[in-house]
């Protein structure tokens, strides 16, 4: 069940990079796979929710400024007609530091098969430490509500 939906999300994940230093997210193609009213929760629990293609485009472009060697590595994938869940072990360099991270991403598709909801569940304390940010500073809110 859901092979078409799973293939769609596999393609989506591949657009974030091939793991090489020079590869970057293909923001135009990524955004084209989203519904106009899309919502992306950067991390669950507690992460910011970005609404709409324009704001998601801006966030993806912002992330490209500090992220290198990105590759989404799907370990497991399962789906229904409208929901695709992936377990991933992603590779990335954030601010020049190796930052592999394990996560689950959930994608809800609309009637046209486009992404209307995208939530990423990951341990932000682990990722923050890998970026070399003091966890207490990040938790205090002085670092803002984004991962930079």
Question: In this predicted model, what pLDDT tens digit does every residue of 46-96 receive, in sequence order?
Answer: 889 999 999 999 999 999 988 889 999 999 999 999 999 999 998 988 888
Q: Which CATH number describes the domain made up of 3-137?
A: 3.10.450.50
Compute the chain's Rg from CA coordinates: 15
pLDDT of residue 33 exceeding 80: yes
Examine the pLDDT at 126 and tell me if it is beyond 90: no
């Amino acid at each position: 069940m859901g092979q078409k939906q799973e293939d769609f999300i596999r393609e989506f994940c591949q657009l974030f990079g091939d793991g090489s230093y020079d590869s970057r997210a293909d923001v135009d193609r990524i955004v084209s796979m989203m519904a106009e009213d899309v919502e992306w929760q950067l991390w669950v629990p507690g992460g910011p929710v970005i609404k709409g293609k324009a704001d998601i485009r801006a966030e993806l472009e912002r992330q490209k400024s500090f992220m290198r060697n990105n590759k989404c590595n799907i370990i497991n994938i399962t789906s229904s007609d409208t929901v695709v869940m992936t377990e991933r072990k992603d590779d990335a360099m954030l601010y020049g530091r190796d930052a592999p991270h394990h996560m689950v991403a959930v994608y809800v598709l609309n009637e046209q098969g486009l992404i209307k909801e995208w939530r990423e569940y990951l341990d932000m304390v682990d990722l923050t430490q890998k970026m070399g940010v003091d966890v207490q500073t990040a938790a205090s809110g002085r670092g803002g509500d984004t991962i930079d």
